Amino acid sequence: MEAILTIATILGGITALWFLWEKLFKFNLVKIIKKWRNVKIEKSFIAQPTENRIVAKVQRQSPWVAGIKIPTSVLEPPNQGIVVAIGEEVRKIKIGQKIFWNKFAYQEIKAGDKLYMMVRENDVLGVIE
């Protein structure tokens, strides 16, 4: 019985602190927790790039244009993507940024059905906001 009363007292204290936090700092912790719960972290890419290399996840181009299938050899290689991993010497680029790079300065990596490109930091032409 004493354990139940102790647990009830602790839960009451937590609830009171939660209420005070929301009133003092004017934001809802439940919304923040739900927002962070929906954030997707890229777990399919396990390898850590070395030196000044960056790995970006890219979208494949559709080989179909107006009902006609275009050979993959004719499609332009992707030159933009979202950064999922960076090497230890990378200073200007952060994970999660959308970048674009020099057209033929990349190494293609396939992991399952996903396509990644590895580029050097020097070959990144810019960050897309």
Q: Output the six-digit token pair for 103.
A: 């057209």
Task: Please give the residue that has the higher pLDDT: either 21 or 94.
Answer: 94
Confidence band of 124 (pLDDT split at 50, 70, 90): very high
Phi/psi region, residue 17 (left: phi>0; alpha: psi -120 to 50; beta: rest), is: alpha
102: pLDDT strictly greater than 50: yes
Q: Which CATH number fits domain 53-128: 2.30.33.40, 2.60.40.1180, 3.30.70.380, 3.40.50.720?
A: 2.30.33.40
Listed by start position, the domains of the chain span 2-37, 53-128
Tokens linked to 35: 């927002």
What is the tens place of the pLDDT at every residue in 4-49?
556 656 656 666 665 655 665 555 555 655 554 444 445 555 677 8
